[in-house]
Amino acid sequence: MFASCLKWVSWNFCFVLSVAMASGTALVYDEEMTTHKLLWSDPVCDIEVPERLSSSYERLKYYGIVERCVPVPAREGSEEEILLVHSPEHLEVAKSTQTMNEEELKRVSGNYDAFFFHPNTYRCARLAVGATLELLDAVMSGKVCNGMALVRPPGHHSQRNAANGFCLFNNVAIAAEYAKVKYHLQRILIVDWDVHHGQGTQYIFAEDPSVLYFSWHRYEHQEFWPSLKESDYDAVGLGKGKGFNINLPWNKVGMGNSDYLAAFFHVLLPMAFEFDPELVLVSSGYDSGIGDPEGQMNATPEVFAHLTHFLMQLANGKLCVILEGGYHLKSLSESVCMTVKTLLGDPVPHITGEMAPSLSAVESFQNVRAAHKPYWKWLMHEDTSFLQNLSTKSLLLKKANPNPATEDEFKITNNDEVVKVERFLEMHMKNILFPVPPIKTATTDSKGSPHLLTVPVHLVKEVDQNEIKALVSGFYADLVKEDKVLLSLGNMLAVLDKILRKEVCNGLAESPVSSISGAVALKHAVQFGFQRVLCIFVGDMQIVPNTEDGKILIIHICDKEQSGKTSSKHYISLNWKEDAEGNDFFSAVLGFILPIAYSYQPNLTVIAVGPNQSLGISGISLLFALLGGLAESRIFAVIKDTERNLIQSVEKALLGASTPHFGIYVPPTQEKANKIKTLRDQFQQEWRMLQCSVKDEISRN
Ligand code: Q9C
Ligand code: ZN
């Protein structure tokens, strides 16, 4: 009776809390932006069709995503807002096209590289600007936590005085300038994952240190449009803006999920955490996805869920996603859905494909890291050197032969490819999408501890003692004698079972014997049938389960060197003591733990905190945040029961009830940087996502 009363109180209280907090995802869409269209024949521009917008929106409706979002109406951007970025001349030219006939429109369009005007283009472009700013206002005012704007025409190629690459006004650049003026922001991160270089955005912020611009793009050693020297990795910004422009050129087509993830681990995310933005804007082109005729890349829609999940860990979750390119309608719309689902807090689907970046991608990482070494503390102790890309260039020369087929034949093969990818994606999405568990988080019922009242958790009763004895006696018989241990294991197993049975997404067990509980949890998960269980163990481990069959991978973070247990592929000891000044754990998580975790592809993640843990709340929160995209977000926390503050903050993080704070960024000391480097060298053949530079022999060949 008393317990059910407590539950009622806790649900009620949580409702009150959720009103006070910034939560929710905005979706901005206005059908009128489908009226901008190409009126004549032009093979360069004919892929930028109105259906890009309508099919994305339809797909969002199909999955029931639209009704879960906060609808935010678009508006026209004002002239003043457009002039934050563009010249009055550019605005006047755009305005003048409203009353032109087709012939005049064609003539003005011809003044630009890859742009078309329609009589309603000016109106649509103003709606695209206004939609972006409405999204920004919704996020900055705390009305929502994050959101997406579906807009046309796109923006990132557009420059102060010119339309370019299907773009008239630079929506995202205007939003950044607007955020600086209206909200006095001093650090804004723009992530441009469109497959083209947003040269317009680069030009606008080249000298501006308050806007960090990151773009990856198909480049092929300057062969690919817009074929600019300044799209290469050595364009790092100008004047005061030096170091705040990051170009990651792709010199080959066919880049896939692992290349994109590795780019985040080894290039973007370390910089982003060091930069510590107050707001993140995404120039969200999906032409970097599979099937796109422009990009020719291989990344599947779920990769965008992972990328989104990572960016949600920055700027206290303030994330605005604005559509740019994306020309394979099915690939585009599924990828948009993956992005918005993730913004809403749904579990992140399992990522497919072999987890190893390609050689050409690694060469690009190495070059951009070398180019940025003077500007970023996290790179200070990394030994970076430039590569000449000899291997890639010679291969490219052999391959680079223009398609000899006639245009007709080309279109036919092209259409076959479109249909092939459509069919593939139809199957693929059915495989990776899974029902979201009805309850997000389970925790142990620790006899009415007051902290449980603040969050809507599903409280779990302990398991019967005899049941536990039977369960545990198989592996750790001598541990089950003490009542305290038995009780704690019972609590832990009750939560774990809910996760294993997929009744909940994640869970937390507090335990006086967390080290034992952690070990038993791993064994039990494997016995239940889980094939790959990743365990990050922080603190002293009393028992280390056998990891030889590869079903368990342990990364053990501890203060002192482990005696007697040497590292192996599935048991890795990371000797780390958190810095007292702030959080210096970023480089270890991004450069080592995450790449191994993604290489392993676990189907359950266990994070255990035992006695004498050498990390504080900031470091441990970072682990939870960044590992949360693995194993379909199936994550189990086992924490020493005396860590009240930690338990509370982990509980909130698991619920998605608050974005954790990771503490002040501190770069790793020389000693720690060397430690990571040594471990990376030791394991990068086995866990290939660790690769971020190319071995000498390869580059010399
Ligand atoms: N030979 C966006 O994805 N291609 N724009 C021009 C000229 C233009 C892409 C080829 C591609 C523009 C937003
Ligand atoms: Zn693009």
For 501-558, write each residue's pLDDT tens digit. Answer: 999 999 999 999 999 999 999 999 999 999 999 999 999 998 899 999 999 999 999 9
CA 477 to ligand 1 centroid distance, Å = 66
Question: Which of 96-110, 171-185, 398-412 comes out lowest in average pLDDT?
Answer: 398-412
Q: In this structure, which ligand is nearest to the CA of 115?
A: 1
Ligand 1 centre distance from Cα of residue 48 (Å):
9
Does the structure show a pLDDT above 50 at 405? no
Q: How far is the CA of 194 from the centre of ligand 2 (A)?
A: 5
Task: Quote the ligand 1 centre to 555 CA distance (angstroms).
Answer: 45
Supply the pLDDT for residue 383.
86
CB of 165 shorter than 6 A to ligand 1: yes
> Residue 67: its pLDDT value, please?
98
pTM of this prediction? 0.94
Q: Which ligand is nearest to the CA of 196?
A: 2
13 has pLDDT over 50? no
Evaluated on CA atoms 264, 266, 271, 274, the torsion sign reads positive
Residues around ion ligand 2, judged by CB within 5 A, are: 194, 196, 285, 287, 325
Q: At what angle do helices 51-62 and 329-343 cross, to 10 degrees?
A: 50
Instruction: Judge whether residue 456 has pLDDT over 70.
Output: no
* Residue nearest ligand 1's atom 13 by CA: 325
Residue with CA nearest ligand 1 atom 12: 165
Matching residue, tokens 């370019």: 164
pLDDT at site 294: 98
Per-residue pLDDT of 642-676, as tens digits, reads 999 999 999 989 988 888 789 999 999 999 999 99
| CATH 3.40.800.20 domain extents, the chain | 44-349+358-411, 506-694
CB of 263 within 8 A of CB of 215? no
With a 6 Å cutoff on the Cβ, whether 285 touches ligand 1 is: yes
Rounded Cα–Cα distance for residues 11 and 459 (Å): 11
For the CA of 285, the closest atom of ligand 1 is: 3
Q: What is the rounded average pLDDT for all residues in the chain?
A: 91
For ligand 1, is residue 357 a contact (CB within 6 Å)? no
**pLDDT tens digits, one per residue of 35-65:** 999 999 999 999 999 999 999 999 999 999 9
- Read off the pLDDT band of 467 (50, 70, 90): confident
**Percent of the chain, pLDDT > 70?**
90
Q: Mean pLDDT across the stretch 5-25?
A: 44
pLDDT of residue 638 exceeding 70: yes
Minimum mean pLDDT range among 31-45, 469-483, 617-631: 469-483
Which fold would CATH assign to domain 44-349+358-411? Arginase; Chain A (3.40.800)
Strand, coil or helix: 553: strand
Query: Which of the pair, 375 or 484, is modelled with greater confidence?
Result: 375
Q: What is the mean pLDDT of residues 603-615?
A: 96
Of 90, 156, 157, 217, which one is the catalytic site residue? 157
3-state helix, strand, coil in the chain (%, to 5): 45, 15, 40
pLDDT of residue 525: 97
CA distances from 380 to 384, 665, 668 (A): 9, 14, 9
Q: Is 227 helix (H, G, I), strand (E, B) or coil?
A: coil
* 332 CA distance to ligand 2 middle (Å): 12
Residue 499 has pLDDT above 50, yes or no: yes
What confidence score (pLDDT) does residue 391 get? 52
Q: What angle do CA 278, 281, 287 make, to 5 degrees?
A: 155
CA torsion angle 630 634 640 641 (round to 10): 140
User: Helices then strands (H, E): number in the chain?
Assistant: 24, 16
Verify whether residue 157 is a known catalytic residue. yes
Q: What is the pLDDT of residue 448?
A: 45
The response to whether residue 177 sits with its C-beta less than 6 Å from ligand 1 reads no
Q: Once rounded to an integer, what is the mean pLDDT over residues 118-134?
A: 99
For ligand 1, is residue 326 a contact (CB within 6 Å)? Answer: no
The response to whether residue 192 sits with its C-beta less than 6 Å from ligand 1 reads no
Q: Within 13 A of 619's CA, how many CA atoms are on the CB side?
A: 27
Q: Which helix (H) or strand (E) holds 211?
A: strand 211-218
Q: Structurally, what CATH architecture does the domain formed by 506-694 represent?
A: 3-Layer(aba) Sandwich (3.40)
Among the bound ligands, the one closest to the CA of 224 = 1
